Amino acid sequence: MFKDLFSPTGGLIYHSRALRYGRAWKPFNKKVEAWLQDWHPQSSSLVLVGPSAGYTLPKNLLSRFDTCIGVELDPMARSLFRMRRGPLLWDQRNYFSPERGEFNPKGPTEFARKYQGCAVLFCNVLGQMLPQDPFSQGFETYSQSLKNSLQNLEWASYHDRLSGRLKPKSEAFSSEQRLNDTQLIERAYPKTTGELSEHGTWGFFPENLPAHYWSWELTPGTYHLVEALKKTT
Q: What is the pTM of this model?
A: 0.93
Mean pLDDT of 200-212: 95
Residues 153-194: pLDDT tens digits? 999 999 999 999 999 999 999 999 999 999 999 999 987 667
End-to-end CA distance of the chain: 35
Instruction: Phi first, then psi: give them for residue 226, nearest 5 degrees.
Output: -100, 135
Q: Are 38 and 229 in contact (CB under 8 A)?
A: no
- Could you tell me which of 220, 167, 219 has the C-alpha nearest to residue 196? 167
Mean pLDDT of 191-210: 89
Domain map (residue ranges) of the chain: 2-159+227-231
Name the residue type at position 107: G
Q: Are 103 and 132 in contact (CB under 8 A)?
A: no
Quickly state the pLDDT bin for 7 (edges 50, 70, 90).
low
Integer Cα distance of 9 and 128 in angstroms: 6
Q: Are 50 and 120 in contact (CB under 8 A)?
A: no
Quickly state the pLDDT bin for 195 (edges 50, 70, 90).
confident
CA distances from 77 to 14, 26, 107, 150, 227 (A): 10, 19, 22, 25, 23
Q: Determine the length of the chain.
A: 233
- Could you tell me which of 118, 127, 149 has the C-alpha nearest to residue 56? 127
User: Span 2-159+227-231: which CATH code?
Assistant: 3.40.50
Integer Cα distance of 128 and 122 in angstroms: 11
Q: Are 224 and 218 in contact (CB under 8 A)?
A: yes
Residues 60-83: pLDDT tens digits? 999 999 999 999 999 999 999 999
- What's the confidence (pLDDT) of residue 233? 66
